[in-house]
Structure 1
Protein backbone atom coordinates (compact mmCIF):
# COMPACT_ATOMS: atom_id res chain seq x y z
CA UNK A 1 0.00 0.00 0.00
CA UNK A 2 1.51 3.31 -1.05
CA UNK A 3 1.58 6.61 0.81
CA UNK A 4 -1.23 7.96 -1.35
CA UNK A 5 -3.46 4.99 -0.46
CA UNK A 6 -2.77 5.43 3.28
CA UNK A 7 -3.67 9.11 3.11
CA UNK A 8 -6.90 8.29 1.27
CA UNK A 9 -7.75 5.64 3.86
CA UNK A 10 -7.12 8.04 6.76
CA UNK A 11 -9.08 10.83 5.07
CA UNK A 12 -11.97 8.51 4.23
CA UNK A 13 -12.06 7.19 7.79
CA UNK A 14 -12.09 10.69 9.27
CA UNK A 15 -14.80 11.75 6.84
CA UNK A 16 -16.90 8.72 7.76
CA UNK A 17 -16.50 9.37 11.50
CA UNK A 18 -17.44 13.04 11.04
CA UNK A 19 -20.52 12.05 9.01
CA UNK A 20 -21.65 9.57 11.67
CA UNK A 21 -21.23 12.18 14.43
CA UNK A 22 -23.13 14.81 12.41
CA UNK A 23 -25.99 12.44 11.58
CA UNK A 24 -26.18 11.27 15.20
CA UNK A 25 -26.30 14.86 16.48
CA UNK A 26 -29.01 15.79 13.97
CA UNK A 27 -31.05 12.73 14.95
CA UNK A 28 -30.65 13.53 18.68
CA UNK A 29 -31.82 17.10 18.15
CA UNK A 30 -34.81 15.99 16.07
CA UNK A 31 -35.76 13.34 18.66
CA UNK A 32 -35.60 15.84 21.54
CA UNK A 33 -37.70 18.35 19.58
CA UNK A 34 -40.38 15.67 19.09
CA UNK A 35 -40.23 14.74 22.78
CA UNK A 36 -40.56 18.37 23.90
CA UNK A 37 -43.49 18.90 21.54
CA UNK A 38 -45.18 15.74 22.89
CA UNK A 39 -44.57 16.97 26.45
CA UNK A 40 -46.05 20.39 25.72
CA UNK A 41 -49.11 18.94 23.98
CA UNK A 42 -49.79 15.88 26.16
CA UNK A 43 -48.59 16.99 29.60
CA UNK A 44 -48.93 20.76 29.56
CA UNK A 45 -52.07 20.80 27.35
CA UNK A 46 -50.81 23.23 24.70
CA UNK A 47 -51.85 22.84 21.09
CA UNK A 48 -49.30 22.67 18.31
CA UNK A 49 -50.71 25.99 17.08
CA UNK A 50 -49.70 27.65 20.38
CA UNK A 51 -46.04 27.11 19.52
CA UNK A 52 -44.45 29.69 17.25
CA UNK A 53 -40.89 28.32 17.14
CA UNK A 54 -39.02 25.27 18.38
CA UNK A 55 -35.36 24.48 17.78
CA UNK A 56 -32.98 22.07 19.47
CA UNK A 57 -29.29 22.84 19.71
CA UNK A 58 -26.17 21.57 21.42
CA UNK A 59 -24.84 23.52 24.36
CA UNK A 60 -22.60 22.97 27.33
CA UNK A 61 -25.15 22.30 30.02
CA UNK A 62 -27.54 20.79 29.22
CA UNK A 63 -25.90 18.94 26.38
CA UNK A 64 -28.94 19.38 24.12
CA UNK A 65 -31.66 21.93 24.80
CA UNK A 66 -34.77 23.04 22.95
CA UNK A 67 -35.69 26.70 22.66
CA UNK A 68 -39.44 27.28 22.41
CA UNK A 69 -41.34 30.48 21.58
CA UNK A 70 -45.07 30.67 22.21
CA UNK A 71 -47.32 32.77 19.99
CA UNK A 72 -49.03 34.49 22.92
CA UNK A 73 -45.74 35.48 24.60
CA UNK A 74 -43.70 36.96 21.74
CA UNK A 75 -41.02 38.59 23.90
CA UNK A 76 -40.00 35.43 25.77
CA UNK A 77 -38.22 32.18 25.05
CA UNK A 78 -38.38 29.00 27.09
CA UNK A 79 -35.79 26.25 27.31
CA UNK A 80 -36.44 22.53 27.76
CA UNK A 81 -34.28 19.42 28.00
CA UNK A 82 -34.51 15.76 28.91
CA UNK A 83 -33.35 15.12 32.47
CA UNK A 84 -33.45 11.60 33.98
CA UNK A 85 -35.78 10.52 31.18
CA UNK A 86 -38.23 13.37 31.73
CA UNK A 87 -38.71 16.59 29.80
CA UNK A 88 -38.22 19.63 32.02
CA UNK A 89 -38.19 23.36 31.51
CA UNK A 90 -34.84 24.58 32.76
CA UNK A 91 -34.93 28.28 31.98
CA UNK A 92 -36.91 31.19 30.56
CA UNK A 93 -35.66 34.50 29.31
CA UNK A 94 -36.38 37.41 27.01
CA UNK A 95 -35.81 36.93 23.30
CA UNK A 96 -33.31 39.77 23.28
CA UNK A 97 -30.97 40.53 26.14
CA UNK A 98 -31.13 39.44 29.75
CA UNK A 99 -33.88 39.98 32.32
CA UNK A 100 -31.49 41.09 35.09
CA UNK A 101 -34.22 42.32 37.42
CA UNK A 102 -36.59 39.39 36.82
CA UNK A 103 -39.26 41.93 35.96
CA UNK A 104 -40.83 40.18 32.96
CA UNK A 105 -44.01 38.18 33.66
CA UNK A 106 -43.44 34.93 31.74
CA UNK A 107 -46.74 33.37 30.75
CA UNK A 108 -45.42 29.82 30.38
CA UNK A 109 -42.84 29.59 33.16
CA UNK A 110 -43.27 26.30 35.00
CA UNK A 111 -43.56 26.14 38.78
CA UNK A 112 -40.43 24.02 39.24
CA UNK A 113 -38.31 26.80 37.71
CA UNK A 114 -39.80 29.40 40.02
CA UNK A 115 -39.09 27.26 43.10
CA UNK A 116 -35.45 26.71 42.09
CA UNK A 117 -34.90 30.46 41.63
CA UNK A 118 -35.56 31.05 45.34
CA UNK A 119 -32.99 28.53 46.61
CA UNK A 120 -30.01 30.33 48.15
CA UNK A 121 -26.86 30.02 46.05
CA UNK A 122 -24.97 28.24 48.87
CA UNK A 123 -27.58 25.47 49.04
CA UNK A 124 -27.93 25.14 45.29
CA UNK A 125 -24.18 24.56 44.89
CA UNK A 126 -24.01 21.62 47.35
Structure 2
Protein backbone atom coordinates (compact mmCIF):
# COMPACT_ATOMS: atom_id res chain seq x y z
CA UNK A 1 0.00 0.00 0.00
CA UNK A 2 2.91 2.34 0.71
CA UNK A 3 4.19 2.09 -2.91
CA UNK A 4 0.77 3.09 -4.19
CA UNK A 5 0.76 6.18 -1.98
CA UNK A 6 4.27 7.20 -3.11
CA UNK A 7 3.31 6.72 -6.75
CA UNK A 8 0.17 8.83 -6.32
CA UNK A 9 2.16 11.53 -4.56
CA UNK A 10 4.78 11.55 -7.33
CA UNK A 11 2.17 11.88 -10.11
CA UNK A 12 0.28 14.51 -8.15
CA UNK A 13 3.43 16.60 -7.81
CA UNK A 14 4.23 16.22 -11.51
CA UNK A 15 0.66 17.22 -12.41
CA UNK A 16 0.84 20.22 -10.09
CA UNK A 17 4.15 21.39 -11.60
CA UNK A 18 2.73 21.00 -15.12
CA UNK A 19 -0.34 23.03 -14.13
CA UNK A 20 1.83 25.85 -12.75
CA UNK A 21 3.96 25.89 -15.92
CA UNK A 22 0.86 25.96 -18.14
CA UNK A 23 -0.77 28.75 -16.09
CA UNK A 24 2.47 30.76 -16.15
CA UNK A 25 2.81 30.37 -19.91
CA UNK A 26 -0.80 31.39 -20.47
CA UNK A 27 -0.39 34.43 -18.19
CA UNK A 28 2.77 35.46 -20.11
CA UNK A 29 0.90 35.23 -23.43
CA UNK A 30 -2.03 37.30 -22.17
CA UNK A 31 0.29 39.92 -20.65
CA UNK A 32 2.30 40.32 -23.86
CA UNK A 33 -0.87 40.50 -25.98
CA UNK A 34 -2.11 43.36 -23.77
CA UNK A 35 1.28 45.12 -23.91
CA UNK A 36 1.40 44.90 -27.72
CA UNK A 37 -2.16 46.14 -28.03
CA UNK A 38 -1.40 49.05 -25.66
CA UNK A 39 1.74 49.84 -27.69
CA UNK A 40 -0.25 49.92 -30.93
CA UNK A 41 -3.04 52.05 -29.45
CA UNK A 42 -0.94 54.44 -27.36
CA UNK A 43 2.47 54.71 -29.03
CA UNK A 44 1.57 54.04 -32.66
CA UNK A 45 -1.81 55.83 -32.48
CA UNK A 46 -3.94 53.04 -33.96
CA UNK A 47 -7.61 52.81 -33.10
CA UNK A 48 -9.09 49.61 -31.66
CA UNK A 49 -11.10 49.06 -34.85
CA UNK A 50 -7.86 49.14 -36.91
CA UNK A 51 -6.70 45.92 -35.21
CA UNK A 52 -8.39 42.71 -36.32
CA UNK A 53 -6.37 40.02 -34.49
CA UNK A 54 -3.80 39.85 -31.68
CA UNK A 55 -2.49 36.46 -30.58
CA UNK A 56 0.65 35.54 -28.65
CA UNK A 57 2.43 32.23 -29.09
CA UNK A 58 5.65 30.57 -28.05
CA UNK A 59 8.35 29.99 -30.64
CA UNK A 60 12.09 29.65 -30.88
CA UNK A 61 13.37 33.14 -31.53
CA UNK A 62 11.86 35.15 -30.03
CA UNK A 63 10.59 32.81 -27.36
CA UNK A 64 7.29 34.68 -27.12
CA UNK A 65 5.87 36.69 -30.00
CA UNK A 66 2.55 38.28 -30.92
CA UNK A 67 0.94 38.02 -34.35
CA UNK A 68 -1.17 41.04 -35.34
CA UNK A 69 -3.57 41.47 -38.28
CA UNK A 70 -4.80 44.91 -39.25
CA UNK A 71 -8.26 45.42 -40.78
CA UNK A 72 -6.97 47.55 -43.68
CA UNK A 73 -4.19 45.10 -44.61
CA UNK A 74 -5.93 41.69 -44.58
CA UNK A 75 -3.23 39.92 -46.60
CA UNK A 76 -0.41 40.62 -44.13
CA UNK A 77 0.55 39.59 -40.62
CA UNK A 78 2.89 41.52 -38.36
CA UNK A 79 4.94 40.15 -35.47
CA UNK A 80 5.85 41.94 -32.25
CA UNK A 81 7.78 41.01 -29.13
CA UNK A 82 9.22 42.58 -26.00
CA UNK A 83 12.93 43.17 -26.35
CA UNK A 84 14.97 44.93 -23.66
CA UNK A 85 11.75 46.17 -22.08
CA UNK A 86 10.38 47.68 -25.31
CA UNK A 87 7.72 46.38 -27.68
CA UNK A 88 9.21 46.06 -31.17
CA UNK A 89 8.01 44.76 -34.50
CA UNK A 90 10.39 42.04 -35.62
CA UNK A 91 8.80 40.68 -38.78
CA UNK A 92 6.07 41.10 -41.37
CA UNK A 93 4.84 38.39 -43.74
CA UNK A 94 1.99 37.73 -46.12
CA UNK A 95 -0.86 35.94 -44.38
CA UNK A 96 -0.53 32.97 -46.73
CA UNK A 97 2.91 31.84 -47.86
CA UNK A 98 6.25 33.59 -47.96
CA UNK A 99 7.18 36.85 -49.70
CA UNK A 100 10.36 35.56 -51.33
CA UNK A 101 10.84 38.59 -53.57
CA UNK A 102 9.89 41.20 -50.95
CA UNK A 103 7.27 42.49 -53.37
CA UNK A 104 4.34 42.89 -50.98
CA UNK A 105 3.65 46.50 -49.93
CA UNK A 106 3.14 46.27 -46.17
CA UNK A 107 1.02 49.11 -44.82
CA UNK A 108 2.14 48.81 -41.20
CA UNK A 109 5.80 47.85 -41.44
CA UNK A 110 7.80 49.87 -38.94
CA UNK A 111 10.93 51.78 -39.90
CA UNK A 112 13.27 49.76 -37.69
CA UNK A 113 12.41 46.56 -39.54
CA UNK A 114 12.95 48.17 -42.94
CA UNK A 115 16.39 49.41 -41.86
CA UNK A 116 17.42 45.93 -40.63
CA UNK A 117 16.40 44.33 -43.94
CA UNK A 118 18.88 46.47 -45.86
CA UNK A 119 21.94 45.70 -43.73
CA UNK A 120 24.31 43.65 -45.91
CA UNK A 121 25.23 40.24 -44.60
CA UNK A 122 28.92 39.41 -44.88
CA UNK A 123 30.03 35.82 -44.81
CA UNK A 124 33.48 35.04 -43.48
CA UNK A 125 35.41 32.71 -45.77
CA UNK A 126 38.20 30.57 -44.47
Fold conserved (TM > 0.5)?
yes
The separation in 1 between residues aligned to 2:7 and 2:14, in whole angstroms, is 11
Partner Cα distance (1:15, 1:122) in 2: 48
| 2:47 counterpart residue number | 47
Q: What RMSD in Å do the two structures reach over aligned CA positions?
A: 1.0
C-alpha separation in 1, matches of 2:19 and 2:121: 42
Q: Name stretches of at least 5 consecutive residues in structure 1 with no aligned partner.
A: none
Secondary structure of 1:77's partner?
strand
Question: Number of matched residues?
Answer: 123
Regions of 4+ moved over 6 Å? none
Distance 1:38 1:108 in 2: 16
How far did residue 122 of structure 1 move? 2.4
Match of 2:103 in 1: 103
Secondary structure of the corresponding residue to residue 76 of structure 1: strand
1:77 matched residue in structure 2? 77
Q: Secondary structure at the match of 1:121?
A: coil
